[in-house]
Amino acid sequence: MGIKLDGKKVAQKYQEEIRRFIKLKKDKGQKVPGMANILVGNDSGSIYYVNNQNKLCNKLGIDVRSIFLEENIHEDNLMNIIRKLNCDDEIDGIILQLPLPKHLNEAKITSEISYKKDIDGLSNLSTGKFYKKEKCHMPCTPKGIINLIKSTEFEIEGKYAVVIGRSNIVGKPIAQLLLNENATVTICHSKTKNLKQICKNADILVCAAGKPKFITKEYIKEGAFVIDVGTTMVDGKLTGDVCFEEVIEKASFVTPVPGGVGAMTTTMLMKNLCEELK
Query: pLDDT tens digits for 214-252?
Result: 999 999 999 999 999 998 888 888 899 999 999 999 999
pLDDT at 45: 76
Provide the residue ranges of all domains of the chain, joining segments of one domain with +. 29-114, 140-262
Q: How confident is the model at residue 278 (pLDDT cuts 50, 70, 90)?
A: low
At residue 112, does pLDDT exceed 80? Answer: yes
Residue list for the binding site for NADP(+): 165-167, 231
CATH of domain 140-262: 3.40.50.720
At residue 103, does pLDDT exceed 70? Answer: yes
- pTM here is 0.90
- b/e map of 116-152 (b: 16 or more CB within 10 Å)? ebbbbbbbeebbebbeeeeebbbbbbbbbbbbbbebe
At residue 166, does pLDDT exceed 80? Answer: yes
Q: How large is the average pLDDT for residues 135-161? A: 95
As to burial, measured by CB atoms within 10 angstroms (0-12 exposed, 13-18 middle, 19+ buried), residue 278 is exposed
Whether 29-114 shares its CATH topology with 140-262 is answered yes
Nearest to 99 by CA among 54, 38, 56, 154: 38
Residue list for the binding site: 165-167, 231
pLDDT in tens, 53-86: 999 999 999 999 999 999 999 999 999 999 999 9
Amino acid at 269: L
Q: Is 185 helix (H, G, I), strand (E, B) or coil?
A: strand
What's the fold here for domain 29-114?
A: Rossmann fold (3.40.50)
At residue 264, does pLDDT exceed 90? Answer: yes
